[in-house]
Structure formats: C-alpha cells, structure tokens
C-alpha cells in the first residue's frame, strides 16, 4: 500500500493533476483543519468557515487541470480561502445594503401613503367646513387664504371696509377652530389652503 503522508506538497500536486484521488485525500487531510482555522478567524462563524473550506476543496478538484501553481499548494489554498471569504463578505454587504434600501423604501412609501391619505382626509374636512361658512364670510376667507389677497385688496374688491374684512376673517377662523378641533389643525389648515 502506498502511503501519501510522506510525499511533498509538490509531489501530491503533480499526482492530483493526473486525477489521483489519494493525493487529493492527503492534501485534504493535511490542510483542512488549518484552512478551517484561517477561515474562522476571518468570519467568526463555524458553519460558514466549514462551507468556505469545502468550497475551496471542491473547486480545487474541479479545476485542477486549469490550475498553474506559481507557489506552494498551501499558498494557493490559503489565498483561495481568503478570496472566498472576501466574496462572501462582499455578497453579504451587497445583500444587506439591498435589504436596508428596500426597508427604507417600504418605510418611506408607507409614511408617504399614510401622510397623503391623512392630508387628503384633512383637506376634504377643511373644504367641507369652509363651504359651510356663511356666504360672505366664506368669500372673504377664500379670497384671503386661497387667492392670497390682502385685507385691503378684499375690502376694495367687495366694496367693504377694512374692519369688516378683518371681522369676517376673525369670525371664520373662530368657527373653523371650533369645527376642526383646535389651533393645531387650524395651523395645518392655513398651510394647506
């Protein structure tokens, strides 16, 4: 029986290039624990470290014919583990960035939808209460808040005194404040209209 434990890495690699499974088994036994420790130091996860090392050995077996060894087999294996870990970290980073971006989008779109719904309901309520004002008061209020006309401009256009316009506005605001539930909603009203 041929014992491969006495072979050098170079001899094992040459046998492996020719498809020798025993040479592969010896390389695997020789380096698996060391590569696992190396991978674990880099990613601090036992299962992932095992997966990385397994993938490196599978890749070694699958691509052995194409591998042109520049240095030692140990250098090749350590580099392969490091690259797999870096790819894993990069893939997780991209995945985490995507998940975070998606979560932010969902949160902001829910907030926007909720805001728009509340804004629409509030605007509808405001329009209803403004429409319920006495006609002259409503006209003065709409000219002030919707058309952005000054009290003086409204007074001139409606042929009223400046005091009457101010009184109509004051009364309209009082009524709306009572109907819409407080100064906070009124301040929103004044911004929306």
CATH number of the domain where residue 89 is located:
1.10.1740.10
More confident residue, 29 or 130: 29
Same-domain pairing of 63 and 141: no
Residues near 4 by Cβ (< 8 Å), separated by ≥ 6? Answer: 12, 15, 22, 23, 25, 26
pLDDT band at 37 (very low <50, low <70, confident <90, very high): very high
Q: How many domains does the chain have?
A: 2
For residue 177, being part of any structural domain is answered with yes
Q: How confident is the model at residue 60 (pLDDT cuts 50, 70, 90)?
A: confident
Distance in angstroms (rounded) separating the CA atoms of residues 114 and 108: 10
Long-range Cβ pairs for the range 153-158 (8 Å, 24+): none
- In this structure, the answer to whether residues 31 and 89 fall within a common structural domain is yes
pLDDT for 111 equals 56
Task: List, as one string, the DSSP characters of 22-33.
Answer: HHHHHHHHHHHH
Residue pair 47/55 in contact (Cβ under 8 Å)? The answer is no
Lowest mean pLDDT among 3-17, 20-34, 121-135, 154-168: 121-135
Q: Is the pLDDT of residue 120 over 80?
A: no
**Do 56 and 136 reside in the same domain of the chain?**
no
Contact 181, 188 (CB under 8 A): no
Phi, psi of 42 (to 5 degrees): -80, -35
Tokens 């020789």 correspond to 30
CATH assignment of the domain containing 159? 1.10.10
Residue after which a domain boundary falls, among 46, 77, 97? 97
In a domain, 109, yes or no: no
32 falls in which pLDDT band (50, 70, 90)?
Answer: very high
pLDDT greater than 60 at residue 186: no
Does a structural domain hold residue 49?
Answer: yes
Q: Percentage of the chain surpassing pLDDT 90?
A: 3
What is the phi-psi region of residue 182: left when phi exceeds 0, alpha when psi lies from -120 to 50, beta otherwise? left
Per-residue pLDDT tens over the stretch 68-114? 777 788 888 888 888 888 888 777 766 666 667 666 666 665 556 66
Is 31 found in the same domain as 80?
yes
Q: Which residues contact residue 69 at a Cβ distance below 8 angstroms, ignoring those fewer than 6 apart? A: 13, 76
Query: Is this model's pTM higher than 0.75 or not?
Result: no
Q: Say if 29 falls within a structural domain.
A: yes
User: What is the extent of the structural domain holding 23?
Assistant: 9-97
């Amino acid at each position: 029986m041929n014992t491969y434990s006495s072979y050098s890495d170079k001899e094992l690699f040459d046998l492996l290039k020719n498809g020798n499974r025993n040479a592969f088994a010896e390389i695997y036994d020789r380096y698996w624990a060391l590569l696992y420790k190396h991978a674990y130091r880099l990613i601090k996860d036992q299962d992932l470290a095992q997966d990385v090392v397994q993938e490196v050995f599978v890749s070694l077996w699958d691509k052995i014919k194409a591998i042109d060894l520049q240095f030692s087999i140990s250098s090749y294996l350590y580099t392969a583990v490091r690259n797999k870990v870096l790819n894993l970290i990069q893939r997780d980073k991209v995945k985490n960035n995507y998940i975070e971006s998606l979560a932010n989008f969902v949160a902001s779109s829910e907030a926007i939808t909720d805001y728009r719904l509340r804004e629409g309901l509030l605007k509808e309520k405001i329009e209803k209460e403004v429409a319920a004002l006495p006609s002259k008061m409503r006209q003065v209020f709409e000219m002030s808040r919707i058309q952005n006309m000054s009290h003086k401009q409204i007074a001139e256009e409606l042929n009223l005194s400046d005091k009457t316009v101010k009184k109509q506005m004051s009364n309209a605001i009082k009524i709306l404040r009572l109907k819409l539930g407080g100064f906070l909603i009124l301040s929103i009203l004044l911004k929306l209209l």
